[in-house]
Amino acid sequence: MQAKSEILALVLGALGLCGTIVTTCLPHWRVSAFIGANIIVMEELLEGLWMNCYRQANINIQCKVYDSLLILPPELQAARGLMCVSIVLAFISLLLTGFGIQKSSCCGDNLKSKNITYALGGILFLLSFLTTLIPVSWVAHTVISNFYNPTTLDAQKRELGLSLFIGWATSGVLLITGIIVLFRYSKRSAKEDQRYIEAYHMAVYTDPPTVQTYQVTLFQPNRNCDTRDPDKKSSTDSHTCVTCETLKANQNI
């Protein structure tokens, strides 16, 4: 079950990465609204982050890249930057998640490093979710506001394009992936902490305490030493005789 959840996170992360790329590249962010006098027009305008396209009735599409970034409205300018960031975050998070799974050979047997790498992947997935949801929702809000604005001409009104719906679905996939990864990380961290606690208790209760032993050597008086006179020394022994006080102390020991 644990390995299945990690594989599921990798699959969802790969889908999220593909979704962010598709959302960024498709020119279907804003499409022409066929309302009022515009309903008889046989040409559809598609506006994306990088180009706009015209699709005619015979399904021929002609696209043109924007000449300058400054001609885009503010929401599309911000969406272009945020979606690029989202792609980078999703790619890095997918790599970190792959390196952090338990079956991975990355970091060897260092479970702590694997858990940290895995958690970073989950956090970046959540950041990628935010950087995808914000531009998609911002553009959708602008399109809806202009559509219901009475001062906007019918020819200038737009509808929600396919890229926005793909972006919402992708942000949901990234959110689910980040939650799965972080939930799995919490389980792995709890298991690792429990393992350390059990190892500590085994070390405490199985290892006997170290007892230091000391050897006490009692000095025997020299036969030539007169114990009655502490100050008297033997003439035949080159060593100093043990005094009476030392002998008494040793006998007390």
Do 193 and 224 lie in one domain? The reply is: no
Domain count, the chain: 2
- Co-location of 190 and 234 in the same domain: no
Determine the average pLDDT of the residues in 231-236: 47
For residue 114, the model assigns a pLDDT of: 81
Residue 220: inside a domain? yes
Q: Which two tokens stand for residue 13?
A: 């992360």
DSSP 40: G
Report the distance separating Cα 76 and Cα 69, nearest Å. 9
Given this model, what pLDDT does residue 94 score?
94
- Are 240 and 138 in the same domain? no
CB distance 89 to 128 below 8 Å? yes
Q: Are 29 and 76 in contact (CB under 8 A)?
A: yes
Could you tell me the two tokens for 4? 């299945």
Stronger pLDDT, 104 or 213, i.e. the higher one: 104
Place of tokens 């679905």: 169
Question: Is residue 132 located within the same domain as residue 245?
Answer: no
User: Is 150 part of any domain?
Assistant: yes
Percent of the chain topping pLDDT 70: 66
Residue 211 lies in a domain: no
Tell whether 122 and 226 lie within a shared domain.
no
Burial class (CB in 10 A: 0-12, 13-18, 19+), 154: middle
Residue 26 in any domain: the answer is yes
Say how far apart CA 142 and CA 158 lie, in whole Å. Answer: 10
**Contact criterion met (CB below 8 Å) for 140 and 220:** no
Over residues 160-180, mean pLDDT: 95
Left, alpha or beta for 208 (phi > 0: left; psi -120 to 50: alpha)? beta
174, 125, 129, 177: which is closest to 9 by C-alpha? 177
Q: Would you say residue 155 lies in a domain? A: yes
Give 111's strand partners: none
Does residue 71 contact residue 92 with C-beta atoms inside 8 Å?
no
| pLDDT tier, 227 (very low <50, low <70, confident <90, very high otherwise) | very low
199 has a pLDDT exceeding 70: no
3-state SS assignment for residue 79: helix
Q: What is the residue range of 116's domain? A: 2-206
Dihedral Cα 86, 71, 73, 19, nearest 10 deg: -30
Q: Is the same domain home to 124 and 162?
A: yes
Most confident stretch, 12-16, 118-122, 194-198, 246-250: 12-16
Name residue 183's amino acid.
F
Residue 38 shares a structural domain with residue 62: yes
Answer whether residue 171 is part of any domain: yes
User: pLDDT tens for residues 101-126?
Assistant: 766 666 566 667 788 888 999 999 99
In a domain, 31, yes or no: yes
pLDDT for the residue numbered 61: 83
* Shared domain check, 84 and 34: yes
Look at residue 46 and give its three-state secondary structure: strand
Could you tell me if 96 and 140 lie in one domain? yes
Indicate whether 90 belongs to any domain: yes
In 3D, which of 42, 41, 63 has the Cα closest to residue 52?
A: 63
Residue pointed to by tokens 């690029």: 84
User: For residue 152, what is the domain's CATH number?
Assistant: 1.20.140.150
Nearest to 20 by CA among 74, 71, 92, 106: 92
137 with 242, same domain: the answer is no
Q: Are residues 83 and 53 in the same domain?
A: yes
- The CA R_g of the chain, rounded to the nearest whole Å, is 40
Say whether both 198 and 221 belong to one domain: no
